[in-house]
Amino acid sequence: MRDLSALPNLNIALVQTSLAWHDRQANLEHFELLLEQAKGADLIVLPEMFTTGFSMESATLAEPEHGPTHHWLKAQAAKYNAVITGSVIIQAADGSHRNRLLWARPDGEVLHYDKRHLFRMAGEHHHYTPGERQVQFEVKGWRIRPLICYDLRFPVWSRDAQDTDLLLYTANWPGARRLHWNRLLPARAIENLCYVAAVNRVGMDGKGFAYTGDSQVLDFQGETLLSAGEADGVFQVNLDAAELAAYRTRFPANLDADTFQFV
């Protein structure tokens, strides 16, 4: 059995900022400056569609699987000796367009997760193909499961079935639904007995929607460890595996969880 308490602390950096509309180069240059403030982090998290903003112009904006942002992430991950992640509009090898989270490791490997739940109120399901599987990645022995924005509303998809230590959400979540964001995130932490980290953007997008941030990190009881509010910047926090292990021992509600399978 894995000894969770023996894992080192995990330092996470959340990058909450405004995004230039449909301008990949401007966004990458902006993030290069911000990443200087994330030195020392093990995991650096960028917002959803961080090179474009939340856009339905997938046919115009999609990059190939090994396109410029893929290579940029690899270079930054190597430079900072950290995993760097965020989602990008990608044209997959089969020709489909994906809202794809890229997980760039400092050793040069780039893994991915495709957003499962597409936001139909914006027509995302007409412009992108949904992902078909959950994924779990590791950093310093920590088991981390990434999800994207609208996935947050679906507890079955978020439900831990792999002894996850950290649920990670990257988003473009509008201020109009700020209340939902701030209530659903603690629920996911509590029901899964794990840490939750969530990164949102700030500012106005090209469609006139305002984003109010609220990037945050929560512990396994839904208590706030970090809250960025509406500020633009880089925010770091350390997660303690021993505290998580101790809580799961004291309150092993996971042992009574229902079993299920995806159809």
Q: Which residues are catalytic?
A: 48, 115, 149
C-alpha radius of gyration, the chain, whole number: 17
Structure tokens at 181: 């964001």
CA-closest candidate to residue 116, choices 102, 135, 130, 100: 130
Our measurement of the distance from residue 50's CA atom to the centroid of its chain's CA atoms, rounded to an integer in Å, reads 11
CA-closest candidate to residue 151, choices 87, 220, 95, 194: 87
> For the range 139-143, what are the long-range contacts, defined as Cβ-Cβ under 8 Å and sequence gap of 24 or more?
139/10, 139/42, 139/43, 139/83, 140/7, 140/8, 140/10, 140/42, 141/7, 141/8, 142/7, 142/10, 142/166, 142/239, 142/241
Class of residue 127 by CB neighbours under 10 A (exposed 0-12, middle 13-18, buried 19+): middle
Find the helix packing angle between 24-35 and 68-80, rounded to 10°.
10
